[in-house]
Amino acid sequence: MAYDIEIILNRQLADCLSIPVFITDTKGNLLFYNEPAEEILGKRFEDTGEMPVEIWSTIFKTKEFDGSDIHPKDLPLVKTLTEQLPFHKTFLMESLLGKSEKISLTSYPIIGRTGKFLGAVAIFWRQKEE
Amino acid sequence: MKITLWGVRGSIPTSGPDTRHYGGNTPCIEVSEDGWTLILDAGSGMQRLNSSIKLENKRVDILLTHLHFDHIQGLGFFKALFNPEMEVHIWGPASTLTSLRSRLGKYFSPPLFPVHFRDLPCKLHLHEVENSTFTIGPFVINSRYVTHLGPTIGFRISDKHAVLSYIPDHEPALGPKGLSKDLKWLSGSDLALNSDLLLHDGQFSSEEYKNKVGWGHCSMEDATAFAALAGVKHLMLFHHDPSHTDQQLDKLFRDINHIKGGKMKLDLAVEGTEINLPKVVK
Ligand SMILES: [Zn+2]
Ligand SMILES: [Zn+2]
């Protein structure tokens, strides 16, 4: 079964962008991530293909600015998947080299022509080091 | 399943000595089985269909892929619409905000057309479809949104003998990497999968397509690769560019000979062709 056209077109767009983009289904399973996102994830889409939500969600180590853990339900993508609305948050993320990096994440729901919720897109914005 | 191609040209009717062989009428296909008739799109080919169509069971179903003018311009001239005994069903793509009735009503109203929708004497039924499955007489039909401009669907029509796929306006290669080899990421692939006959957009040569990316159409090469990936048995390239003469179409077709390969039968759609599926008779 082919993906909905709205998912396919989001991937085509992501493929053209220099910002990291992750595309999930309605459950949060990772359907696609583009090349800039491969750098964040430390994996290549070519190698992993799709990834179940339980696996890819544990790769990121996120923290509030005061060093406390972020509750998963406060992460923008998780909120988008439950509420079908866009969300945005800036937080600290531990990079693959163990360094803390300031990251902003914007997520939005993919709602198709007929109003059907089809999945979500998460865009990572890396903050420039001052 | 008997299929008659009444219009195979894209964009605008193009009649004249230079297009006599492939034909100049815009998309209109008649599909019949056991006295039931489907009409795929209502381009200017509808006028030729008018003179030959036999409506045995007082019902006819028109399946519109989208509402670009080349696919609806013949609709107002379809004789069954003016027959109070006829039951006419029009199936078309659902859109986000506007109903099919109000979108078609823009055409069926002055100054574009003298007759209002509400004044048509036939028994008219409108159906909005999306990624849907529905049954009409002996036909099971799947519709799915495909990559084009505006809400556009393609159809997969099955009866007990054969499968016909119809995707006349389609740009499956849109994106920086062109056509996906992974069927899951390929727009329209499940409509075309293993079908006996696929009528598919083949508007441009690959050279022309380079300057027409995002226009919603397909090169002959991409259409051929798309059909091969989907395991289609017979591909007819469809929606010929209005600027292509018979001579140019012949040349473009010769140029893609090298990619034919495999078992798939490949040719250019010719207006007036009758096909009996699964047996092909020209
Ligand atoms: Zn068209
Ligand atoms: Zn079109």
pLDDT tens-place string over residues B247-261 = 999 999 999 877 765
pLDDT digits (tens, 9 = 90+) for A49-79: 999 998 888 888 889 999 899 988 899 999 9
* pLDDT tens by residue, B225-255: 999 999 999 999 999 999 999 999 999 999 9
Cα atoms in the 13 Å half-sphere on the side-chain side of A123: 16
Cβ proximity of B127 and B91 under 8 Å: yes
Burial degree of B282 (CB within 10 A; 0-12, 13-18, 19+)? exposed
pLDDT, residue B281, reads 47
Count of domains forming chain A: 1
Segment B126-135 mean pLDDT: 97
- Cβ contacts of B114 within 8 Å, gap of 6 or more: none
Q: Which chain B residues contact residue A50 at CB under 8 A? A: none
Mean pLDDT on B27-42: 96
Q: Supply the pLDDT for residue B56.
A: 77
In the DSSP assignment, the letter for residue B279 is: S
Question: Could you give the CA distance from residue B64 to residue B240 in angstroms, rounded to a whole number?
Answer: 18
pTM > 0.95: no
What is the structure's pLDDT at A119?
Answer: 98
Grade residue B21 by pLDDT with cuts at 50, 70 and 90.
very high
CB A76 within 8 A of CB A91: no
The sign of the torsion formed by the CA atoms of B252, B254, B257, B260 equals: positive
At residue B57, the pLDDT reads: 82
Q: CA geometry: angle at B29 spanning B246 and B73, to 5°?
A: 85
Record: contact B184-A11, CB cut-off 8 A: no
Q: What residues contact A85, with CB distance under 8 A and at least 6 apart? A: A79, A109
Q: What is the CATH number of the domain that holds A46?
A: 3.30.450.20
Cβ pair B176:A1 closer than 8 A: no
Q: Do B94 and A1 touch (CB under 8 A)?
A: no
Domain with A121 in it? 5-126
Whole-angstrom Cα distance, residue B143 to residue B135?
Answer: 11
Sequence letter at residue A18: S
Least confident of A1-15, A94-108, B125-139, B151-165: A94-108
Residue of B nearest to A114 (CA): B96
ipTM attached to this prediction:
0.87
We find that the CATH architecture of domain B2-276 is 4-Layer Sandwich (3.60)
Sheet containing strand A87-94, strands side by side? A30-33, A21-24, A117-126, A100-111, A87-94, A61-63
From the list B94, B175, B183, the residue facing A2 with the nearest CB is: B183
